[in-house]
Amino acid sequence: MLEFKADNQQTGFTIVELLIVIVIIGILATISIVAYNGISKRATEASIVSDLRQASTVLEMDKASAGAYPSSLALAQEGEGLNAGDGLIYEYSYDSATNSYCLTANSSKVTGMSAFYISNTNPAPTAGACPGHSSTSMVNLVANGLGEMGNNANFPGLDFVAGDAPPGSKGSFVTPDGVYKTYTSNEPIPVDPSKKYIVRGWAKQNTAGVGNSRIYFGLTPLDVDKKPLISYMYMYRPGTTTALAQPLKAGDTVVYLNSISANWYDEADTRTYHRSLIFWDYKDSTGKVWPPETYSFNGWRGDLYDGGTGAINRIDNTITLKNPWTGSSYSVGHPVSNGSSGGSWMYSAADYQLLTGQWREFVSPAITGTHTGGLSAAKFAFPVATKYVRILVIAHAGSPSNTSRQSFGGIRFYEAP
């Protein structure tokens, strides 16, 4: 009798077939991404061109009514300002001697985009950039720097105000009072000191009748552990680096050093922050020990001794302290220098600048490289060990009345070409 057996063999894709399918999917995905990027780029270019055409019309109307082009975009449209479209950045130059302008528009969202520009002699949007302006896209690294989230996210302590905005922004960030205070953004921004960066933003005084309303505007540099790099953590007096000849511990009134050069601050009028010590060989969380004359969180101590009174003895190589030592203990041979200090942060875009009731833009030069030298605070180069930055604003620096309110907006930090 014949018997029939069921065929239980299952069929499926072989490994080779699966690999072929994966490769095909990858190719199709690449084609789709390239096509999408092309469409996105063309849409952005169309937006730039459209914005520039409208800007040209506005600027010509300003000239017709006032007899001259506005000196800044904040003064365009009879003081209402000329706002860039979503994701666009304007750079504007005006020459009062010739009553001429040039306006460059760029993308803050699409990497690698070419800029377009217009001028009083060339009102048709043209690929390229005005002299001195950036010719490629400038992707803003500051979260919510233009107020695009509609709140004060990333800028705690400041109040968000919709509508009252500088060119290119959705709103502004306003101080809640007139107190002299430092504000920083929340999110650390990774940086590479070998690259070039620009920080820029707008500010104005909100309260009428308030004088001496000033600001500092720039960056707070951070190390690998996101600790703020205050100037006294890397500033020192060149030519003073030495080492402890005896241990230093709590309660000591004399510091014993291997040598004390003539460079140590010791005049009667020496500032308190110059009569200081900085102890080197700081170890960060990665285990790296930073050598002398780089930076240190080991503890800077100021106003330690009196100047011009013999507190520094270059014969015995000793420093007599004003008060018993209360800092950390250090062993024999620990490297130390005469410390210093200066502007605490990087005031790259505005250094004690006066505000008025009109929006004003502050733009830094290119910030690049590593700051060295010891005697000065970093401003246009990053302190040694910088891995991140935060946006910094010091409001009401001129100590105006408490009724003062300052506004900030259009805050950008981007990699420069």
Residues 67 and 194 in one domain: no
Q: Among 39-48, 63-72, 122-131, 315-324, whose mean pLDDT is lowest?
A: 39-48
Residues 348 and 216 in one domain: yes
Q: How far is CA 338 from CA 159, 229, 233, 303, 308, in A?
A: 42, 18, 12, 12, 15
Residues 51 and 178 in one domain: no
Residues 101 and 195 in one domain: no
Residues 225 and 354 in one domain: yes
What mean pLDDT is reported for the chain?
89
Whether 168 contacts 83, CB under 8 Å: yes
- At 210, the pLDDT band (50, 70, 90 cuts) reads confident
Q: Which of 108, 127, 146 is the last residue of a domain?
A: 127
356-365 mean pLDDT: 92
Residues 29 and 122 in one domain: yes
Residue 196 lies in a domain: yes
Cα–Cα distance, 362 to 352 (Å, whole number): 12
Residues 213 and 347 in one domain: yes
Residue 120 lies in a domain: yes
Cα–Cα distance, 160 to 153 (Å, whole number): 9
Q: In terms of C-beta density within 10 A (0-12 exposed, 13-18 middle, 19 or more buried), how is residue 336 classed?
A: buried
pLDDT of residue 178: 92
Q: What is the pTM of this model?
A: 0.77
- At 241, the pLDDT band (50, 70, 90 cuts) reads very high
Q: What is the DSSP string of 50-105?
A: HHHHHHHHHHHHHHHHHSS--SSGGGTTTTT--PPPTTEEEEEEEETTTTEEEEEE
The two structure tokens encoding residue 186: 């929340």
The residue that leads in pLDDT, 139 or 392, is: 392
The residue that leads in pLDDT, 12 or 338, is: 338
Angle at 200 between CA 120 and CA 219, to 5 degrees: 165
Residue 62 lies in a domain: yes
Residue 318 lies in a domain: no
203-221 mean pLDDT: 92
Q: How far is CA 187 from CA 95, 109, 146, in A?
A: 38, 18, 15
pLDDT of residue 182: 97
Residue 147 lies in a domain: no
Q: Residue 291: pLDDT above 80?
A: yes
Q: What is the DSSP string of 391-412?
A: EEEEE-TT---TT--EEEEEEE
The residue that leads in pLDDT, 348 or 301, is: 348
117-145 mean pLDDT: 89
Residue 164 lies in a domain: yes
Most confident region among 104-108, 133-137, 266-270, 399-403 by mean pLDDT? 266-270
pLDDT of residue 112: 67
Contacts of 189 (CB under 8 A, 6+ apart): 141, 142, 388, 389, 390, 413
- Residue 18, classed as helix, strand or coil, is helix
Whether 323 contacts 311, CB under 8 Å: no
Domain extent, residue 190, equals: 159-231+343-416
Query: Tens of pLDDT along 145-174?
Result: 999 899 999 999 999 999 888 877 889 999
What is the DSSP code (8-state) at residue 330? B
Q: Among 15-19, 55-59, 143-147, 409-413, whose mean pLDDT is lowest?
A: 15-19
Q: Among 269-273, 283-287, 383-387, whose mean pLDDT is lowest?
A: 269-273
pLDDT of residue 410: 92
193-208 mean pLDDT: 94
81-96 mean pLDDT: 81
Nearest partner of 116 among 108, 127, 107, 130, judged by Cα: 127
- At 4, the pLDDT band (50, 70, 90 cuts) reads very low
Sort strands 335-338 and 242-243 into parallel, antiparallel or unpaired: antiparallel
Q: Among 126-140, 215-229, 284-298, whose mean pLDDT is lowest?
A: 126-140
The percent of the chain in helix, strand and coil, each rounded to the nearest 5, is 15, 30, 55
Contacts of 3 (CB under 8 A, 6+ apart): none
pLDDT of residue 9: 52
pLDDT of residue 161: 96
Residues 167 and 118 in one domain: no
Q: Which of 77, 108, 127 is the last residue of a domain?
A: 127
103-114 mean pLDDT: 78
Residue 329 lies in a domain: no
Count structural domains, the chain: 2
Q: In terms of C-beta density within 10 A (0-12 exposed, 13-18 middle, 19 or more buried), how is residue 4 classed?
A: exposed
Residues 86 and 180 in one domain: no
The residue that leads in pLDDT, 270 or 370, is: 370
Residues 404 and 350 in one domain: yes
Angle at 410 between CA 123 and CA 377, to 5 degrees: 115
Q: Which residue type occupies 216?
A: Y
Residues 182 and 85 in one domain: no
Check which CATH number belongs to the domain holding 221 and give it. Answer: 2.60.120.260
Q: Residue 25: pLDDT above 90?
A: no
Residue 102 lies in a domain: yes
Residues 120 and 214 in one domain: no
